[in-house]
Amino acid sequence: MKQEVLRDVERVVLKLDVNGERTELLLPVHKTLLEVLREDMQLTGTKHGCELGECGTCTVLVDGRPELSCLVLPIQVEGHAITTVEGMADGAVLHPLQQAFAELGAAQCGYCTPGILLSAKSLLETTPRPSRDEIREALAGNLCRCTGYSKILDAVELAAGRMT
C-alpha cells in the first residue's frame, strides 16, 4: 500500500453525459463514477454507504438501468446516459416518484432515498404497474435502515398508479 501513491496518476479526458448535460472532464482513470459525481461534478445527491457494491446507496442509472456507481469507472460509461437523483425532477416539478416519496414519508433520513428512487424509476419504465413483489425484487439491492421498507413500497405503488 505504501508504494502505490508514488505511482503516476493516469488521467483521461472524458465526455460524460449526466442528466442530459454533456461535460468534458480531465479525470484520474482510477476514480470511480461515485467519486467523480460527488467530488468533480458537485452532484452530491448520489450517496455512499460501503463503496464495495454491498448496499445500493450509490445507485445511478446508466442508459436507464440501475448500476452501482461505486463500482463503475467513468471511462466505462462514456457515451452512455447517466441519470442521478438531480436529474429526476422536470425542472422544478418533482418526478411522480419523488412526489409520492415526499407525501408518504418514504424518506426518513433520506440517505438511501436517491438510490431507491432511481431503482424504482427504472422499474416503472419497464413495468408500469408492478406488483408489490415485483417492487421488492427490483429494489432488493438497496438497503434502507430507517423505514422498514413499508412506506417505500406504498410510495412506489402510489407513483405507479399516478403515472399510468
Partner 1 sequence: MTSDGKFGVIGKPLQKVDAVAKVTGRAIYADDMLLPRTLHCRILRSPHPHARILSIDTSAARRIPGVQAVITGADLPIKFGILPVTQDERALEHEKVRYVGDPIAAVAAIDEEIAAAACDAISVEYEVLEPVMSIDEALAAPKDERIQDYGGPHNIHKLVALEFGDVEAGFAQADHVREDVFFFQGNTHLPMEQHSAIATYVDGRITLWSSTQVVHYVHRALSKVLELPMSRIRVIGAAHGGGFGGKTDPFAHEIIVCKLAMLTGRPVKCTLTREEVFYAHRGRHPVLMWVRTGVTRDGLITAMHFRTALDGGAYGSYGVASTFYTGALQTVTYDIPAYRFEGCRVFTNKPPCGPKRGHGTPQPRFALELHLEKIAHDLGIDPVDLKRRNFVMPHTRTVNWMRVTSCGLEECTERVMTASGYAHRDKRPGHGMGFAISSYLSGAGTAIYWNDMPHSEVQIKVDRGGVTAYCGAMDIGQGSDSVLATIVAEELGLQPADVRLVTADTDTTPIDLGSYSSRVTFMAGNAAIEAARKMRGMLIEAVAAKMKCDAAAVEVAGGRIGDFSFQEASVLAEGRFGTLISAGSYTPPKLAGPYKGSGVGPSPAYSYSACVVDLEADARTGLVKVNRIWIAHDVGRAINPLLVEGQVEGSVYMGLGEALMEEQAFRKGLHKWPSMLEYKSPTFLDMPEVETFIVETVDPEGPYGAKEAGQGPLLPVPPAVCSAVYDALGVWIDEVPVTPEKIVEALRRRAKGEPARFGPARFPSIPYPTAIKVEPPPREMDRAATSSI
Partner 2 sequence: MLRLPRFKYLRPKNAREAARMAADLGPRAMFVAGGTDLFPKLKRRQFDVETLIALDFLPRDIHNGSSECVVGAGVTLASAASNEHLVKSFTGYAQAAGLVSSPPLRNAGTVGGNLCVDTRCNYYDMTYEWRKAAGFCMKKDGDICLVAPSSPRCWAVSSSDTAPMAIALDGVVGLTGPDGERELPVSVLYRDDGMDYMAKQASEVVTSLTLSAGRDMRTAYVKLRRRGSIDFPIAGAAVALQLDGDEVVRCRIVLSAVASHPLEATAAEDFLKGKRVDAETIRETADIAAKPAKPLDNADLSHFWRKRMVHVVVEQALLQAATRTPGSTVKLLGQYPE
Residues that bind partner 1 (CB under 8 A): 1-2, 4-5, 38-39, 43-52, 54-55, 57, 84-86, 88-89, 94, 98-99, 101-105, 107-114, 117, 135-137, 139-151, 153
Strand partners, 65: 62
User: Exactly one of 29, 89, 102, 109 binds partner 2 (CB under 8 A); which one?
Assistant: 29
Is 26 a residue that touches partner 2 (CB under 8 A)?
Answer: no
CA angle 120, 162, 60 (to 5 degrees): 20
Beta strand 11-18 with 81-83 is parallel
Is 76 a residue that touches partner 2 (CB under 8 A)?
A: yes
105 binds ligand FES (CB under 6 A): no
Kindly provide the b/e burial profile for residues 38-70, where b requires at least 16 CB atoms within 10 angstroms of the residue's own CB. Answer: bebbebebbbbbebeeebbbbbbbbeeebbbbb
Contact residues for partner 2 (CB under 8 A)?
A: 1, 4-5, 7-10, 12, 28-32, 34-35, 48, 50-54, 56, 59, 62, 65-68, 70-73, 75-76, 119, 133-134, 136-143
